[in-house]
Each structure stands twice: as structure tokens, then as C-alpha cells.
Chains A and B, each alone.
Chain A
């Protein structure tokens, strides 16, 4: 009667633990590490585009239609130094932040009601279905009648542009939280608001962040567009009004400087603010799909 036998591998090192760790883990090369950072890749792309702009505008040689990058940058620098641009940016950002925060808070209230009550769900679904397709800027004429010329009209329009995008995504995120996680929350005896804040919000954070990003993008575009329409009455006017004003003065490099500022602020928020949040939350948690 023969029984099974175990024959150990001849190479003894494989039977010794931790002897081969150095070969298993190797650091990547530094060039590979640098190219792995998406910010680096994007910066390179922007530099290439800037060079194309400069070369093409110099070739065109028509500052009234298309000023060179260097002209634009000089104007940008001058307007920064003389304090015009910073004050315009500040005006714009003040209105923007007010509207954005108010919209987000309203969205939070609506979704918390929606997740806890059926009437809240119906209300949120009906309202988002109705208002999400409506461009916020189209409410501006109405807002001007209701709130007059000024920051409050802008804030109203901004709330409209932020609220539905954030609410829609947050609600969808809440509904997408897995049954298991919901049961875990129930198991811990969490109910009501503490259940929402401690389980649903972090579990749905990828969707919430997407909503906040979309809301930000809507708000930024809406605000610049709205300021183009009636900047002068909103105190001293923001960035949109700066662009409009300089077009009237045919100071095209300043128009470009204004546009560039709009882009730069957009980039900073998108690539610094939101990506930093993303890196410290959903990327760290392995929740980014």
C-alpha cells in the first residue's frame, strides 16, 4: 500500500521566508514617476499650446483681432499690478462663493429630506426633472425683475445652477450605496441624520464630489455670462464685466487677459481644489472607479 508523498523543492531559498523580498519590490524609475503625475503631463500640454498661440499671433500680426500671448501676459500683469483685476476677481468670487454655498446647503437639505421621506423623494425627483434642463442664465431676466440689478439676482441664478446638479448627483449617490453598507449602518444602531452623515455621505462621496464639480462648472459659466449682461450695476462689476468693458474700448489684449483669468481660475479650482479633495478622499479610500 503506497501513500502520497511530498517532495520539497530542491532550491532551498524558496522555502526560506523573506529572503527574496528585495527582488519582489523594485522602485520605478524617476522619469516614469514624474510622467505618472497627471499635473505634469497637463502642464507640458499647456506650454505646447502657449507656444502655438504665440507663434500664430506673431505671424498674423493683428492685435485687434488676435493679440500675441506676450501682449496678453503683459496686459494681465499690468492690470494685476494696478489693482483692477484683483478687485474684479474678488467681486466675482464673492458672488460665486455665496451662490455656491447657498446652493449646496439647499441641495443637502433637499436630499436629506428625500432620503428619509417618500414625499421628499417625489419632490426632489419632480423638481430636478423640471429645473435641471433649464439653463440658469435663462432665469436672469426674471431674477432682475424680482431682485433688481445687483448681487442678489446673480446669487439667485447661481443657486439655481448649483442646486439641481448637486442634488441630483447626491441623491443618485445615496441610492447607489450598497445594501450591505446600509445594513452595517443599521447594525450599529445609526438612524436619521447620524446615519446619513456617518454612512451615506462618505459612501456616496464619489457621486457627491461629481455633483459639486458639475455644480461649480455650471456656476462659474453662468456667473461670467450673467456679468457680461449687466456688470456695471453689480457694484463695480466682476470679471465678466471687465471683459465686456474692454471689448467696448477695443482693448483686445485686455479682453484676452480677462478670458485668460477666467480660464486660470477655472483651472486652479478644477486641478488644485477638487483634485486635492479627491486625492485625500476617494482616491485614498480606493473608491474612484
Chain B
């Protein structure tokens, strides 16, 4: 039964051998991307020659210590900055500017529009970017607000919500747009530890429901293992790809394999004696 549903939504999910054939048409390809940005007196290289690709229904995590350019990389995928060299393609189209096919969920709680209620916040992009008629937008917004269990807060203004609830609204807003990829920039980093665990569980539950594609930036190894099926490890100064972890979902909490993987990743990221400049 489960198998049937999976195949219905994503025909490649159960068939690993097909994957190599469809590699050429990955949902997102990042090819040898170098990113630089300016501070008032420095030109900083955030990432260098980073390549990866994201398939449909991936929960793809960018993991690395601070300074590895993972957030910058996500901004580049979002279209907020152009790579100095290399290219980013989504569905075969080059990424040039921000767009609603790549909805962002930010870390900051002020990402909701404070002058709109929860419902209006979720509806707004549906109306201005998707050009849905009002009634349809409202129906879809309500559906996703239900999904994140905020039905009771539908008509509240953001300033009356807790941090966790605000992040749920942001996730509902992103998912309601049914984007090609949901880009999440450390969405749970500003939450307290208990809420964060709950949000991770809920995110996985939502993914089970709709199998959306998500790129998730985090600096917590445990969070990466919990939410992802693939992890891209980046080294800092500048950000380079260090390793890719696949089939992460096979790591289990119960038999200690998750803890073992966490240890391995930790050693990989930090054991190396001093990084080269």
C-alpha cells in the first residue's frame, strides 16, 4: 500500500536504478559554483567550486561549521546572489532572480508580514505570485494551515504567536505555494530545544504526507541526520564540498547507528589538523 502511494507520487522513489539515467535531469543542479560577497573592506569567498544536485522529494541538508558558506549557497539557489563562476539550474532553467518556484523559509521570526493575519500571510504569495483567485487561495491556505496544526490561530496576527508557531506559518506559506523546492535556512535554529525537536518531527510528518523537495541548511549534525536523506558536508574558509552522506534515513535512533553516524560526521568535520587557508 505504502509502496503504491510512493510510486504514485514519485515514480523514481522505489527504483534506485532509474536514478542514474535521470541524473541529467535533476530537479536542481549546482555546478562548480563559486560565490563571493563584499563587506565594506573585504571581498570574501564564501564557497569555491561547489557542485551537487538535488532530486525530486529529496530532503537535502547542507551541513557545515559557520563560515562554510551554506547560507550563502542557499541564497544563491534562491536567486538572491549570482555566482562568480559556475551555474545553478532548476528544472533545466538557469536561476537568475528570486522567484516563487523556490520558496524560502528563514531563521528569523520576522519573516512573516506583521500586518497580515496567519491566513492572509499564507494567502498573500498565492495571490500575488501564483495569481490564484481569492477563494481558491483561501481554501488552499486553510488546508496548509490545518496541516501545520494552526487552525486555531488562523485569524491571529503574527506578533501574538510564539516562535515555533511563526516558523510553522512560514513553513505552511512555503508549502502552500507548492514550489519546486522549499529552501529552509536554519529554520529551527532560533527555537528552544524542545520546540525544535517537535518541529523536526512535524516536518518529517509533513514530508511523509506530500513528499515535497527541500534543501535544509543547519549547523547541527543531529538535526541533519534526523531530517535528511542526503547530507552535503562543507568545509569552511572557503566552503568546499568535503563529503556527501547518502541514505541517511537508514540511520536509526534505536540501534545507535544514528549516534555512530553523528560521531563519524563530527570526526570528518573537525578531526582534520588545522584547515588550509
**A residues at B contact (CB < 8 Å):** 178, 180-181, 183-184, 186-190, 194, 198-199, 202-203, 205, 281, 284-287
Contact = CB atoms under 8 A, between A and B. Distances in A.
Contacts of B108: 178, 180
A285 B129 contact: no
B90 to A, nearest CB: 14
Given A181-B113, A187-B98, A187-B125, 14 more contacts: A180-B106, A180-B108, A184-B111, A188-B100, A188-B124, A188-B129, A189-B98, A189-B128, A203-B115, A281-B115, A284-B157, A285-B115, A286-B114, A286-B159
B80 A186 contact: yes
A181 B110 CA distance: 7
B83 interface: no
- Top 7 nearest A-B pairs (CB, nearest first) are A286-B159, A186-B98, A202-B115, A180-B108, A285-B114, A285-B115, A188-B129
Nearest to B75: A183
Contact of B128 (A190, A203, A285): A190
Nearest to A205: B115
A7 to B, nearest CB: 20
B225 interface: no
B217 interface: no
Nearest to B103: A187
25 contacts: A180-B108, A180-B111, A181-B110, A183-B80, A183-B98, A183-B104, A184-B111, A186-B98, A187-B78, A188-B100, A188-B124, A188-B125, A188-B129, A189-B129, A190-B128, A194-B128, A199-B113, A203-B115, A284-B157, A285-B114, A285-B115, A285-B159, A286-B114, A286-B158, A286-B160
B99 interface: yes
Given A180-B106, A183-B98, A287-B114, A188 B128 contact: yes
Interface of B: 78-80, 97-100, 102-104, 106, 108, 110-111, 113-115, 124-125, 128-129, 157-160
A187 B115 contact: no
Nearest to B99: A189
Contacts of A284: 157
A281 B111 CA distance: 18
Nearest to B102: A187
Contacts of B78: 183, 187
Nearest to B109: A180
A123 B106 CA distance: 34
A202 B99 CA distance: 21
B79 to A, nearest CB: 8
A279 to B, nearest CB: 13
A186 B183 CA distance: 14
B104 A187 contact: yes
A180 B106 CA distance: 7
A272 B160 CA distance: 26
A209 B100 CA distance: 31
B83 to A, nearest CB: 17
